[in-house]
Amino acid sequence: MKDFVEQEIIYAVKKLLSSKVNELLGAFEYQIPLIEFTDYQGGSVVSPVITFSMCEQTEKERIVKQETYSLTITFKFPENKESELYCYAYSGAVSRVIYDNPTLCGEVDRAVISGKKYASPKKPHCGEGWELAITLRLTLEAL
């Protein structure tokens, strides 16, 4: 029995992040924490939050009966001297993986990055950290 489409898409994204993105991060000359989706909370890994929602369809998408979704991957980093570097490293690695695999292992017809947001702490050394939010726009054939 096949799970819900949403679950399959989220699983495919998690698989790409924990495999292909980690491969790219491991090839960098800097020590970048790897991505894991476990309960471990140490500083040597990052656990991004993935949010999924429907998004507005264009007229063309309605005519050809395509469903559209928005998926946001949010990374949070404690404030330190490497936090900004981490934001750019994860952004580049995720962009490369989505560019190389725009179907998310066959789960969608097309995935494109529709936005990236880099957020620095509002005040230095106040306990807030850096944040990177990457938004994907996904289209797939309606069932």
| pLDDT tens-digit map of 33-56 | 999 988 776 668 899 999 999 888
Query: Would you list the domain boundaries of the chain?
Result: 5-141
Give the CATH number of domain 5-141: 3.30.70
DSSP H helices in the chain: 5-16, 22-27, 59-63, 83-100
**Which pLDDT score is estimated for 129?**
86
Q: Looking at the whole model, is its pTM more than 0.85? A: yes
Residue 140: phi and psi, rounded to 5, are -150, 155
So what's the pLDDT on residue 101?
Answer: 94
Q: pLDDT band at 29, cuts 50/70/90?
A: confident
Q: How far apart are CA 51 and CA 113, in angstroms?
A: 14
Q: What are phi and psi of 113, to 5 degrees?
A: -80, 120
Partners of 68 in the beta sheet?
A: 139
| Residue 126 pLDDT grade (very low, low, confident, very high; cuts 50, 70, 90) | confident
Span between the terminal Cα atoms of the chain, in Å: 16
The residue among 40 and 122 whose pLDDT is bigger is 122
Q: Predicted confidence band at 28 (pLDDT cuts at 50, 70, 90)? A: confident
Contacts of residue 71, Cβ cutoff 8 Å, sequence gap at least 6: 9, 10, 13, 50, 51, 52, 53, 111, 135, 136, 138
pLDDT at 13 over 50: yes
Nearest to 105 by CA among 22, 38, 8: 8
| pLDDT of the residue at 1 | 36
Interval 64-117: pLDDT, tens: 888 899 999 999 988 888 889 999 999 999 999 999 999 999 999 999 999 999
